[in-house]
Structure 1
């Protein structure tokens, strides 16, 4: 991992995968799992440190990734939604001995996001410039990965609910730099979503 930017990269993986019927973080993806794949992608990014937020199924997920050079954060309030994991991560980062100029969030169930794309966002970041660098997908959707300047840390710590950081992005739209990633925003939320994606990539 190259440490070229004072950025914390947070992999959000605290959900219970209710629609999947099992912990989707542990579903196979190539020779690893969805969570392991996202961590390996993150570890190649040009950032200072990697954090992984766990919640539901914490013990089994922790044991599957604890050999990776990442710092695990446990969100006991994971049932409150994605916003609570973002808030927990920022509280943890603020208490860290390390100083960060920004934070990037990515999801554990976005296997099409590449390290090249993560580094594209990172290289656009300029410290102390109030930037929010968000991803744009086909059909105009906006979402993660997203990178926030540290000026937004206080707001990020107040988040709750399932909408994640969207309210902050909306409130500061004039500061948002949109990057088009060139793929569909594919959320692997159901067995069917996962099977289609897996077959497209590994059964040709």
Structure 2
């Protein structure tokens, strides 16, 4: 069995006024803390869906070892981000019935 963590990170952070996932959290950022927690778990792969115009977030996620999914256009809702990640899992990893995905 393999497990995949899906992190939908393509929101626009409108209420925060700036990318909330890049805000400080302890000694790192919110997204680095989330990714470190997943990587410390037993998941086999962490996938993060980011907006096409969010190069900084994509780079932080790549440096942390995550697979970054960048769609052609920003997903209108979280459901679409999850669908994009599942599509990536299906096409790159050929999951079996024994495999699982987890939503962060």
The question of a shared fold, defined as TM-score above 0.5 by the shorter chain, is answered with yes
Taking structure 2 as the reference length, the TM-score comes to 0.87
In the aligned structure 2, how far is the partner of 1:31 from the partner of 1:57?
A: 26
Query: How big is the shift at 1:68?
Result: 1.7
Residue 14 of structure 1 contacts residue 75 of structure 1 at CA under 8 Å; is this kept in 2?
Answer: no
Query: How big is the shift at 1:102?
Result: 1.5
Match of 2:92, SS state, is coil
Runs (4 or more) in structure 1 with deviation over 6 Å come to none
In the aligned structure 1, how far is the partner of 2:21 from the partner of 2:52?
A: 10
1:31 counterpart = 2:35: no
Residue 77 of structure 1 contacts residue 84 of structure 1 at CA under 8 Å; is this kept in 2?
Answer: no
Match of 2:4, SS state, is strand
Q: CA-to-partner distance for each residue in 1:72-98, whole Å, 9 max, x for gaps? A: 101344341101101111111110135
Where structure 1 has 5 or more consecutive residues not aligned to the other structure, the ranges are 107-204
2:78 corresponds to: 82
Q: CA-to-partner distance for each residue in 1:126-170, whole Å, 9 max, x for gaps? A: xxxxxxxxxxxxxxxxxxxxxxxxxxxxxxxxxxxxxxxxxxxxx
Tell me how many residue pairs correspond in the alignment. 102
Shift in CA distance, 62/31, structure 1 to aligned 2, threshold 3 Å = same
1:51 counterpart = 2:47: yes
Q: CA-to-partner distance for each residue in 1:6-32, whole Å, 9 max, x for gaps? A: 111111111110011000010000010
Which has more radius of gyration? 1
Where structure 2 has 5 or more consecutive residues not aligned to the other structure, the ranges are none
1:67 counterpart = 2:63: yes
Greater relative contact order (Cα 8 A, min sep 6): structure 1 or 2?
Answer: 2
Taking structure 1 as the reference length, the TM-score comes to 0.46
1:12 counterpart = 2:31: no
